[in-house]
Amino acid sequence: MPEPVVARVFCLPYAGGSSLAYRGWGLGPGVELVAVDYPGRLMRPAEPAPDSVPELVAALTEELSPSWDLPFVLCGTSLGSLVAFELARAAEQAGRPPEAVVLCACAAPGRPPRGEPVTDLADTAFLEAVAERYGGAVAALSGDPEAQAVVLPMLRADLRAFERYAGSAPPAPIAADIVAFSGRQDRSTGFGEIAAWRSFTTGDFQVSSVPGGHFFVEQQPPEVIGEIRSRLRGRRVARTS
């Protein structure tokens, strides 16, 4: 008989990504992995595609909030970190705060951008700029017009949301604990930029570096998964005792 679900982990993908980024994450018995896809993106193409973090958060809050009835952690990567942070605020306002917010590969808000905005560039220049800044599989799109037609509008919408949020006034802190992770080979975001998340929580804060580049979550990093497990362990015992 399957063990009953006593906790959940909501995972938010990076720009241009999907729930597949978190496939294979083993979180232990009784912990449900909820890997999220954004409306209008690869897995949900028929829906409108919000291109701002507030719009994404509003849509996802309506969708996910019924599942905040158990202890939960929010985990995001890059754009997903910004979405996770604001979802935590929405959950706190609803009286259902998360156990922690785990932020991966994302500079804290209000930091000077490392490069110029890319979303208004022509297609070729846009792809080159994204590949240079973040690495990953986007470079393969340059020789595939059919894939570009599908992926480029979604990737632009995601990066537009990221750029708009990053360029806005810094948000107020949340109360939830924040755990931030930096990839040691991430050429888009440095450790100091990620450590600056300290200013955005009134709770506990910790920051660590892990092997890998901007997309280190796809390698199922044991440090990130272990931290999530530890944050839920006490709550799971309390629920099952």
Residues 6+ apart with CB under 8 A from 109: 82, 165, 166, 168, 170, 171, 200
Q: What is the CATH number of the domain that holds 222?
A: 3.40.50.1820
Q: 140 lies in a domain?
A: no
Who has greater pLDDT, 28 or 139? 28
Which domain, by its residues, includes 70? 7-111+170-240
Residue with token string 């044991």: 222
Q: 34 lies in a domain?
A: yes
Q: 95 lies in a domain?
A: yes
Instruction: Assess contact for 85 and 107: CB atoms under 8 A.
Output: no
Q: 163 lies in a domain?
A: no
Count of the separate structural domains present in the chain:
1
Task: Respond yes or no: is residue 78 known to be catalytic.
Answer: yes
Confidence of residue 1 (pLDDT cuts 50, 70, 90): low
Q: 192 lies in a domain?
A: yes
Q: 132 lies in a domain?
A: no
- Rounded CA separation 92/94 (Å): 5
Q: 127 lies in a domain?
A: no
- The shares of helix, strand and coil residues in the chain, as percent rounded to the nearest 5, are 45, 15, 40
Q: Over the stretch 172-203, which tens digit does the pLDDT of each residue have?
A: 999 999 999 999 999 999 999 999 999 999 99
Spell out the alpha helix ranges (H) of 94-221.
123-134, 145-166, 191-195
Angle value at C-alpha 34, between 184 and 83, nearest 5 degrees: 60
Q: 139 lies in a domain?
A: no
Instruction: Assess contact for 212 and 185: CB atoms under 8 A.
Output: yes
Among residues 78, 81, 182, 188, the one annotated as catalytic is: 78
Amino acid at the residue 45: P
Q: Over the stretch 61-115, which tens digit does the pLDDT of each residue have?
A: 999 999 999 999 999 999 999 999 999 999 999 999 999 999 999 999 987 667 7
Q: Over the stretch 113-133, which tens digit does the pLDDT of each residue have?
A: 677 788 889 988 988 899 888
